[in-house]
Structure 1
Amino acid sequence: MDNNKMPRFKIYAIKIITIFLLLFAALAPTRGYAAEKSVLLKEVVLSRHGVRSPTQPAAKLAEWSAKPWPRWPVRAGHLTTRGSSLISRQWTAERARLESLGVTPDKIFICADVDQRTKATADAISEALAPQGGITPVLSARAFVYPIFHPVEAGFADFDTDAVRRDIMKNAGGSLTALQQELAPKISMLADITGPLSERAAAKAGRLYGSTFADLPSEIEFRDGDRSVGITGALGAASGIVEIFLLEYCQWPEKNAGWGAADVMILRDLLPVHSRIFDAVNRAPSVARTRAGELTMLLASSLLSEELCLAKVPDAVKEPAAAAKAAIFVGHDTNIAGVGALIGADWQLPGFAKNEVPPGGALVLSLWQRGKERYVTAEFTGLSLEALHSDADRPVPADRYQISLSHMQRKPGTRPAGECSPEEFADWVNNRVANAR
């Protein structure tokens, strides 16, 4: 029987079957991956500390706004009791996930930077993951950890100041003026909340009384003998003020931030100001490579149990991190931004700006076994704004954002976008860090 005489329903049936087979063939790799169970081999976490008080001295805050700033219950830059509680809630919820993946306390290693806020955060994580004990004490000896989290300040690396300036300007859109124009509506909204500078601060800055922080000239500034870099003036103030508002919102669940003016909706509108300015500096390639290169290598070698040119990392950190099934490093948002830039990772948790690192936010790298194949994934996790503001004393699971690693794949599209092979991950890190030294 030729096609002209074939019953119409049979022709339709053949077409449907053909389409189904084509779709099945196209989806076969993904379906095959989903059919096989994945087993966690290793997890490496880089977490930011929890909610802290502002690091800026009172005199600097007074320059930004004449309004009376809130009094914090701890010293400048210290983790608060509230901050510790939020970390405990987050990691108590995380304990169930890790236990289901075979991560027991005796297989966990925790390393923290030397600051009170990082060590106290690490202690809260340890207690949440192992209420009965069993985790090796947190490693935070200055001689071991300071060069990892602060290699420039420790004297183990130096900024190429010309390259840093070029990279920051490029990230800013060509100039700091361009960046301020890009953010002008949000900075104006922020200035309406802070109000004018004090008469003394205005005079010091050469501005008329009634001016706001938004009228201050912005500059790239190197400090401490070129060991630190940042943006001053209107952009620096805007970034710092928004970050403080976020910390206030997390610290006091009974009220809004910014003298009561910044509720959750206003805060969400303002967060991109901090993230954009912060990233212009901390995700600049030369800044990220100099500040976070060694840390990135440590995370990668810990994940893959391979030696990846870790000349500046002492064995006291490197060996237990490689041996543990879960290695947790507690540092700062600057550390996470630098590592994120080097591995090409972008994320955005619900309610936050792109690449925002909220208190307790963490970059999670995982090594998995699926059948005979091993693969790497990356996530960013953190509590929602609502959870950070809530006064409910119960475990709260973090939001999780799957980071694309397709840029690391030698043949993009041959596996899910959120995966790459261990070899591809190692090659990317070596090319972006080790070979760029």
Structure 2
Amino acid sequence: MKTTVRERNIWSLLVWAWLLAFPAHATENAAPGALRLVIVLSRHGVRSPTTAPARLDAYSRDAWPAWPVPPGYLTPHGKQLMAIMGHWYRAHYAQAGLLPADGCVASALSVVADDEQRTIESAHGMMDGFDPHCPVTIQVAPRKGADALFAHDFSSASAISRDQAQAAVLGRIGGDAARMALANAGLIEQMESVLMDCAPGHCDASKAPGKKWLMDQPASVTPGQGDELLGIKSPLHNASSLAEDMYLEYVEGMPMAKVAWGRVSPPQLGHLLALHSIYADTSLRTPIVARAYAGHLAQRLLATLQEAAGSKDQQAMGSPKAKIVFLLGHDTQIETLAGLLDLHWLLPEPPADPASVGGALVFELRRHGSSDRYDVRAYYVSQSMDQLRNGMELDAAHPPQIAPIFIPGCSTSAPGYDCPLGRFATTITQALPAAEPVQQ
């Protein structure tokens, strides 16, 4: 049963009990005063597919279901789920000593959202749950300029940069764009069987005349044009998008008869989502591409952490008094920042390295007692597929899924894989875009 934000306040006193059972990595060394700042890089909540159903129909035997909102918009259910996450963040960081359990804390928050409907409304939903009795200002980041944290306009990118991005991706797939699909033909065949309602290995194009078959679609990796850095066409890309659309049907709470036309179970759906992770790993986590997309965001993130540790920096995000900075963007930001820093995580359900709707990369800045030493701790948090689908409140029986993250070249073996701030700065600096190569 779905509940309102007002109803959630009734059980807020119970949160203290179940937080004591929360995974140790999230509260280790979290004595009052130890936690200085938290940066939450969150994906927006449940949205409708960005492609209109009529266009999706070309890839399936049956028509795709209708949605209650235009393509790419946050749904009411998606906003409700973001409020649940917002309430969890408030309770969790109150228990950690960073915030009071009750009362207005707007002055301790900085909230920045991309300028699309689904991200702006996700930010509002999260704040509805985080601080329902106090208005919180939500800053909308522009698409261009120094404050463009989420949108990426490569219209000024040089031919050299575009060629390098093309070469980097091709170099990961054997120099042949077709291999992206060939290496994952088994998964794509399973997707095709769901789309066309046929047994894997026995799908016949003659049974669905006029339809587009995944493996028949063109494959290419080219330098981008206009505001794009890179152009990728692949059956894997198409299968990836369609798998996520089925996932969105499930987490939106559609009847199972409408989720992939009733042809998949939840475990099978999780298995098919590997198509999305595999494609993202190539298209977004390839280092050169990740640096181009996430380099500026990484600089701003580092500046914000350093300012909280006492160093003034004009690139810092939010107010210097902020204790939590929420960044509401897309899976692109999570995937590319993770690619830049080589971050990986696993949750109890597939796929690997998910960037779930409403899921977030979280960076905590912690101070050691009265010393000047600061550490960075990272984790990934997400509601499970069933929590998303059913709008479950987060409690002892149904906590969010959390994965502590080891930061390569930085983390220690301490609980939570703490990474000294100075070493974190070096890690980011070394990962940032190098000077543009000279044309030979």
Same fold (TM over 0.5): yes
Provide the TM-score with structure 2 as the length reference. 0.79
CA displacement at 1:155 relative to structure 2:
4.9
Q: Kindly report which structure 2 residues correspond to 1:231-310, keeping only aligned pairs within 5 A, or say none.
A: 231-255=232-256, 257-305=259-307
Question: Within 1, Cα distance between the matches of 2:30 and 2:233?
Answer: 53
Residues 1:337 and 1:343: Cα distance change in structure 2 (over 3 Å): same
Aligned to 2:66: 71
Measured against aligned partners, the alpha-carbon deviations of 1:95-137 in whole angstroms (never above 9, x if no partner) come to: 1012223234321100000000000001111111111115333
Say which of 320, 336, 339 aligns to 1:338. 336
Say which of 45, 52, 75 aligns to 1:80. 75
Residues 1:220 and 1:57: Cα distance change in structure 2 (over 3 Å): farther
Question: Within 2, Cα distance between the matches of 1:156 and 1:321?
Answer: 32
- 1:430 and 2:429 matched: yes
Say which of 303, 321, 324 aligns to 2:322. 324
Residues 1:34 and 1:237: Cα distance change in structure 2 (over 3 Å): closer
Aligned to 2:16: none
CA RMSD of aligned residues (A): 3.2
Question: Within 2, Cα distance between the matches of 1:306 and 1:436?
Answer: 29
How many residues matched?
A: 389
Residues 1:35 and 1:260: Cα distance change in structure 2 (over 3 Å): closer
CA displacement at 1:392 relative to structure 2:
4.2
- 1:102 and 2:98 matched: yes
CA displacement at 1:401 relative to structure 2:
0.6
Question: Within 2, Cα distance between the matches of 1:159 and 1:306?
Answer: 37
Residues 1:235 and 1:146: Cα distance change in structure 2 (over 3 Å): farther
CA displacement at 1:178 relative to structure 2:
3.0
Q: Which moved more, 1:364-373 or 1:241-250?
A: 364-373
Unaligned runs of 5+ in 1: 1-32
Measured against aligned partners, the alpha-carbon deviations of 1:298-322 in whole angstroms (never above 9, x if no partner) come to: 1111122189xx9xx9x6x845254
Provide the TM-score with structure 1 as the length reference. 0.80
Asked if the contact 2:111/2:318 (under 8 Å) is kept, the reply is no
Asked if the contact 1:106/1:134 (under 8 Å) is kept, the reply is no
Asked if the contact 2:141/2:148 (under 8 Å) is kept, the reply is no
Letter of the aligned partner of 1:182 in structure 2? A
Q: Which moved more, 1:42-51 or 1:388-397?
A: 388-397
Question: Within 1, Cα distance between the matches of 2:117 and 2:107?
Answer: 25
Q: Which moved more, 1:247-256 or 1:371-380?
A: 247-256
Residues 1:424 and 1:87: Cα distance change in structure 2 (over 3 Å): same
Question: Within 1, Cα distance between the matches of 2:29 and 2:68?
Answer: 52
State the identity %: 26
Residues 1:62 and 1:386: Cα distance change in structure 2 (over 3 Å): same
Secondary structure of 1:176's aligned partner: coil
Measured against aligned partners, the alpha-carbon deviations of 1:253-286 in whole angstroms (never above 9, x if no partner) come to: 5326211112211112111111101221011112
CA displacement at 1:152 relative to structure 2:
2.4
Aligned to 1:390: 390
Question: Within 1, Cα distance between the matches of 2:152 and 2:52?
Answer: 24
Say which of 48, 56, 63 aligns to 1:61. 56
Q: Kindly report which structure 2 residues correspond to 1:5-404, keeping only aligned pairs within 5 A, or say none.
A: 37=31, 39-100=34-95, 101-103=97-99, 104-140=105-141, 147-153=148-154, 155=156, 160-172=161-173, 175-195=176-196, 212-221=213-222, 224-225=225-226, 227-255=228-256, 257-305=259-307, 318=316, 320-371=318-369, 372=371, 373-392=373-392, 397-404=399-406
Letter of the aligned partner of 2:390 in structure 1? S
CA displacement at 1:185 relative to structure 2:
1.4
